[in-house]
């Protein structure tokens, strides 16, 4: 049975042109996004997210990296702020106060990835999402910290999960089972059912289509870029931040803009 909640967006015809053209023109009203991520061995994901969020039209964008990177890139990346890190270069629990202080400044927070695998960082991220109640987006390995107990994310209001299909499978459990072998229509139907029953929104990709799922509504946008990553998450975070009352329309429009680059 065809999903009547499924809307198809093409590269030459946005589904919601009113959202596309009625965004804030003044940077003062275009929202403030905080991007967090990185460890001593890699800061590619937060750096790429920062560049994309600026291109996407964020009014003000700030980035937080672990202070293990400060000597390496501090002068080359003057926009960055640095939070406490562990001896191996991941964020430590002492970073929580700075995360929360900057999150209070922001209209939205993106956990962009490259956190690495560290038990202390896991405690930090869980503490952060428990204390921070504003708009939150997660992508990359920031999601992996929560996949053993996905309800921490899926039951959180004002939350966007930009996940590859493997991560989406784990986010869906135990409510539904999504298989890699299923075709696009089957996956869309299951995502529609899943997001009708959870509070978070999900963006994923399959068969060259960016899939937006929010409160049972589904849109697909053909994209030649392949996969999901920090750039798509940044675009989605900016649009969601700028249109907080129209999440599905904003996320769908972000997929259109990202795919049109």
How are beta strands 209-214 and 201-206 bridged, if at all?
A: antiparallel
Examine residue 221 and state whether it is found in any structural domain, yes or no: yes
5, pLDDT greater than 90? no
**pLDDT tier at 4, thresholds 50, 70, 90:** low
Find the CATH number of the domain harbouring 16. 3.40.1190.20
pTM of the model: 0.95
Q: What sign does the dihedral 28-229-258-6 (CA atoms) show?
A: negative
**pLDDT tier at 1, thresholds 50, 70, 90:** very low
Name the E strands within the chain: 6-9, 32-37, 60-66, 80-83, 108-113, 135-139, 159-162, 201-206, 209-214, 217-222
Give residue 145's domain range. 6-259
- Separation of alpha carbons 182 and 168, rounded Å: 13
Examine residue 70 and state whether it is found in any structural domain, yes or no: yes
Which is more confident, 80 or 78? Answer: 80
- Separation of alpha carbons 102 and 255, rounded Å: 27
**pLDDT tier at 3, thresholds 50, 70, 90:** low
Which is more confident, 225 or 104? Answer: 104
203, pLDDT greater than 50? yes
Residue 9 in tokens: 């967006």
- Separation of alpha carbons 10 and 1, rounded Å: 22
Least confident of 25-29, 88-92, 155-159, 199-203: 25-29
Tell me the average pLDDT of the chain. Answer: 92
141, pLDDT greater than 70? yes
- When divided into structural domains, the chain yields a total of 1
Examine residue 1 and state whether it is found in any structural domain, yes or no: no
Examine residue 241 and state whether it is found in any structural domain, yes or no: yes
Which is more confident, 261 or 139? Answer: 139
pLDDT digits (tens, 9 = 90+) for 127-136: 999 999 999 9
Cβ–Cβ < 8 Å for 28, 239: no
Examine residue 132 and state whether it is found in any structural domain, yes or no: yes
């Amino acid at each position: 049975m065809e999903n009547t909640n499924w809307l198809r967006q093409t590269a030459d015809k946005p589904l919601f042109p009113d959202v596309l053209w009625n965004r804030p023109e003044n940077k003062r009203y275009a929202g403030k996004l905080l991007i967090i991520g990185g460890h001593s061995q890699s800061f590619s994901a937060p750096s790429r997210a920062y560049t994309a969020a600026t291109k996407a039209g964020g009014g003000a964008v700030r980035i937080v990296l672990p202070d293990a990177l400060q000597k390496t890139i501090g002068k080359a990346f003057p926009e960055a702020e640095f939070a406490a890190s562990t001896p191996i270069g991941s964020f430590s629990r002492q970073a929580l106060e700075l995360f929360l202080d900057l999150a209070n400044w922001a209209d939205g927070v993106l956990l962009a990835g490259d956190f690495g695998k560290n038990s202390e960082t896991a405690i930090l991220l869980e503490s952060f999402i428990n204390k921070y109640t504003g708009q939150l987006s997660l992508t990359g390995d920031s999601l992996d910290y929560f996949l053993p107990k996905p309800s921490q994310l899926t039951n959180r209001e004002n939350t966007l999960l930009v996940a590859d299909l493997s991560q989406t499978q784990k986010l869906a459990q135990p409510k539904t089972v999504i298989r890699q072998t299923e075709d696009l229509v089957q996956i869309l139907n299951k995502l529609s059912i899943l997001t009708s029953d959870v509070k978070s929104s999900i963006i994923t990709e399959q068969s060259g289509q960016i899939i937006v799922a929010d409160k049972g509504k589904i849109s697909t946008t053909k994209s030649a870029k392949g996969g999901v990553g920090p750039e798509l998450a940044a675009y989605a975070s900016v649009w969601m931040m700028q249109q907080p009352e129209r999440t599905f329309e904003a996320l769908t429009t972000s997929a259109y803009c990202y795919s049109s680059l």
